[in-house]
Chain A
Amino acid sequence: MKNIPISAMIGLSFTGLYFFVAIFAPWIAPYGMAEVVGDVWEPSSAKYLLGTDSIGRDLLSRMIYGGRTTIFIATMATILSFTTGATLGFIAAVSGGWVDQLLSRFVDLIMSIPSLIFALVVLSVMPVTVNVLILVMGLLDSTRVFRLARAVAVDIAVMDYVEAARLRGEKLLWIIFREILPNALSPLVAEMGLRFIFMVLFVSTLSFLGLGVQPPQADWGGIVKENKDGIVYGIPAALAPAFAIATLSISVNLVADWVLNRTTSLKGGRG
């Protein structure tokens, strides 16, 4: 853990800060999430640090609670997408044959439809709840994780040391967990960061389109939707989430970049 470059340090600390605020939102937010405390679109003041929103709620409080929702959904969807995608990807890579063919062709099919469009199609008939959102986003995105996990595992599975383990008579579980996983971990962890960012953008987009988190629940995309009409009158309330999303995803990106570079330099090292 020594020698962390400055960019990764910045990334790590901002990411940590966002998660901290998300977890302890009720203790940090100055007002309640749905509490109407002032006039419509009040400018920022000592009382309302970011001003108020389209119906007079404290924008900072809504941002804090909204971040909690956005980060929660994105995290859960990332976990779902990773466990499904990586497990199936490894199984496909190690088993090969028809298992691999079946899974890979099915994933090709899902990926032939843009995921936003697919999500819209599914959400047009499903009740839009947080659980459904996590499920739809996580499963759609697991196709990308599947591809990466499979590609990485296929590369490793043809290595002589994996063949040596097979010839020794090792079982499938040993090969996956002891030979392949330790060598696949770094690219997968870096990818996890990127998937998380994608999830934040995805859920924000859906909420913005009115098909994600439903009011009065707040999330960053929803806050934009609620306050977008203010833009035309020069009221920048809708831009607050832009700043939050951008800083969060840049921070995570910086961390992911560092993890990935660390891996490649390890590969390119002596030998």
Chain B
Amino acid sequence: MNEPLVKVRGLKIGATVYPPGEKPHDIAIVHGVDFDLQKGQVLGLIGESGAGKSTIGLAAMAYGRGGVKITAGEVWVNGRDILKTSLKDIRALRGGEVTYVSQSAAASFNPAKQIMEQVIEAAVGHGKFSKSQAETRAIDLFAKLGLPDPENIGKRYPHQVSGGQLQRCMTALALCPEPDMVVFDEPTTALDVTTQIDVLAAIKEAIRDTGVAALYITHDLAVVAQISDHIMVLRHGEMVEYGDTGQIISAPKEDYTKALVSVRSIDHQEKPPGTDPVLSVTNITARYKGTKFDVLSDVSVDLYPGQTLAIVGESGSGKSTLARVITGLLPPREGQTNFAGQTLSDALAGRSRDELRELQMIYQMADVAMNPRQTVGTIIGRPLEFYFGLRGAEKKRRIRELLDAIEMGDGFIDRYPAELSGGQKQRVCIARSLAAKPKVIICDEVTSALDPLVADGILKLLLELQKAENVAYLFITHDLATVRAIADSIAVMYQGRVVRYGPKSKVLAPPFDDYTDLLLSSVPEMRLGWLEQVIANRKMESAGN
């Protein structure tokens, strides 16, 4: 085999942390990682948050973000160890031999400069091309990446193009200097699912056409499976498994990899709709104060006791607004909400305490859904006290029961939210809403901020609790895999309207309307060749263009 383009040996990375009330100290983020990358190959780095994957990616450019420092090891690029070379040589490497695409192109482009100027800056600065050559090349890349009006898009400012387009511009920026390798750091994570697939396809094609090597960093195994030749699974800064893509997704060896591959495979038997809906929304039309267009138009859905209705849509579809209307935070312009046989008042202030109690809500960001100055006991105890007047030992007993129900011990009673992990926080929020003995819980993207395995745990818990307490969920999400796992019926929303609604088995079975087809086909599947197949079969342009 040839000498690899990149050779990493024994890479250790650390950082100095400044915890409150303690002396600053050093922690290790990456504990010794080895890998090779051949010319023109793509290596996927996959792991959950805190796995150290971005840190490793930046180390390939001898860069440490914030207080991050490379503490030991070797990083060979094009035949020299870049950890030992001069600053001048490192500058020649960055933006010349190795380039970088970040997760948020919107933040990574300088808002004060035109796109073209930024795209060609490295290529011209490193003397690879003249200004006009670089511009021609950039326009070629814009065209190749499927950007509209490639001749002129470079004259625009970053805020003048959409998120998906900007992410492609960033890819053009990285490819413009003809680098040997590009580090892609979660380049599609911040995008909507139907936009993600276009960007992904554009990146894949550009990699193939230019023959550049790449490190592709992501938390989504299905995404990386489409694009990489090899995959390295990381956890807590250590390598778990390394192999070629086909082997990792079809025959994983390690338990952790197996868990990642089989994530979202919860088997959920759909329940038939009942006769009396517990929550029924009819002809809701709503807009925000001071705006001129309806965020929701004519939305009607029913939720039956003990069942789950999933509201699916991308950002801007109005799904979270529906939750605000149902909870009374945003009185609708038209339409009404019936709850447990009664018509609910449009505004929060007009609802009785029992109505409030029986309709609970769980949020996406568990850490801002809990008061950081209250203990877990206080947080769960307050609804008990407020709705049922429980005090003292009785309240404590009930808090223990609830902690037990969310599979956390009573050792957590005196902990503060900051001392909990992401999954634990979300569990406490679930316990808080259960404490009210509700008939319906609105779950607003409750798993989307969590790592896949943790999210799986939360979904399983929600299903168990539904069985035990006969509570109904209005489950708002953008993630179809989650929907498959948990829903009994589904409403697909697009631009403020329900475009498809019915029992899960019907909604997810053909024939589809165009949007549902686009949405369903955009969810990455964990098999080789899926991306090409989807792109070939598309009927509708994605919403992001």
Residues of A in contact with B (beta carbons under 8 Å apart): 2-3, 159-161, 163-164, 166-170, 178-179, 182-183, 262, 265-266, 268-271
Contact = CB atoms under 8 A, between A and B. Distances in A.
A169 B356 contact: yes
A182 B365 CA distance: 20
B19 A183 contact: no
A220 to B, nearest CB: 37
Contact of B383 (A2, A168, A178, A271): A168
A260 to B, nearest CB: 13
B21 A164 contact: no
Interface stretch (B2-10, B217-225, B369-377): B369-377
Contact of A270 (B327, B370, B418): B418
Interface string B301-339: 000000000000000000000000001110000000000
Nearest to B378: A178
B107 interface: no
Contacts of A179: 371
A167 B417 contact: no
A160 B418 contact: no
A183 B371 CA distance: 8
A168 B363 contact: no
Given A169-B356, A183-B371, A163 B329 contact: yes
Contacts of B20: 262, 265-266, 268-269
Contacts of B418: 266, 269-271
Nearest to B22: A3
A159 B368 contact: yes
Contacts of B368: 159-161
B370 A161 contact: yes
A179 to B, nearest CB: 6
Contacts of A266: 20, 372, 418
Q: Which 3 A-B pairs have the closest CB atoms?
A: A160-B369, A265-B20, A182-B373
Contacts of A167: 327-329, 348, 356, 360-361
Given A167-B327, A168-B356, A265-B18, 6 more contacts: A2-B21, A3-B21, A159-B368, A167-B361, A183-B371, A183-B372
B382 interface: yes
Interface in B333-351: 348, 351
A271 B20 CA distance: 13
Nearest to B19: A269
A170 B365 contact: no
B353 interface: yes
Nearest to A161: B371
Contacts of B353: 169
Contacts, number: 63
Q: Which of A3, A169, A179, A269 has the most CB of B within 10 A?
A: A169
B244 interface: no
B432 to A, nearest CB: 8
Which of A2, A3, A161 has the most chain B CB within a 10 Å cutoff?
A: A161
B382 A166 contact: no
13 contacts: A2-B21, A160-B365, A161-B370, A163-B329, A164-B369, A169-B353, A178-B371, A179-B371, A183-B373, A266-B418, A268-B18, A271-B367, A271-B418
Nearest to A183: B373
A265 B365 CA distance: 20
A177 to B, nearest CB: 12
Contact of B419 (A166, A168, A265, A270): A270
A199 to B, nearest CB: 29
A3 B21 CA distance: 6
A170 B383 CA distance: 10
B448 to A, nearest CB: 14
B512 interface: no
A169 B328 CA distance: 11
B21 A160 contact: no
Give the size category of B's interface with A.
Answer: 20 to 34
B386 interface: yes
Given A159-B368, A262-B20, A265-B20, A169 B373 contact: no
Nearest to B436: A168
Contacts of B348: 166-167
Nearest to B432: A164
Contacts of B351: 169
Nearest to A164: B369
Contacts of B371: 161, 178-179, 182-183
A84 B369 CA distance: 30
Contacts of A168: 356, 382-383, 386, 436
A167 B327 CA distance: 7
A136 B360 CA distance: 49
Given A168-B382, A168-B386, A270-B418, A160 B363 contact: yes
Contacts of A3: 21-22
A157 B436 CA distance: 23
Interface in B16-46: 18-22
A119 B450 CA distance: 55
B369 A169 contact: no
B353 to A, nearest CB: 5
Contacts of A268: 18, 20
Contacts of B386: 168-170
Interface string B84-97: 00000000000000
Contacts of A183: 371-373
B327 A164 contact: no
Contact of A161 (B329, B369, B383): B369
Nearest to B324: A163
Nearest to B382: A168
B462 to A, nearest CB: 18
Contacts of B436: 168
A268 B348 CA distance: 34
Interface in B369-395: 369-373, 382-383, 386
A169 B438 CA distance: 14
A160 B328 CA distance: 15
A266 to B, nearest CB: 5
Nearest to A270: B418
B243 to A, nearest CB: 34
Contacts of B372: 183, 266
A140 to B, nearest CB: 32
Contacts of B382: 168
Nearest to B371: A161
Nearest to B420: A271
Contacts of A164: 361, 363, 369, 432
A239 to B, nearest CB: 40
Contacts of B432: 164
A265 B348 CA distance: 36
A73 B353 CA distance: 48
A19 to B, nearest CB: 27
A266 B417 CA distance: 12
Nearest to B379: A161
Contacts of A169: 351, 353, 356-357, 386
Contacts of A2: 21
A115 to B, nearest CB: 33
A158 B19 CA distance: 27
Contacts of B357: 169
A234 B365 CA distance: 66
A271 B329 contact: no
A26 B436 CA distance: 61
A265 B417 CA distance: 15
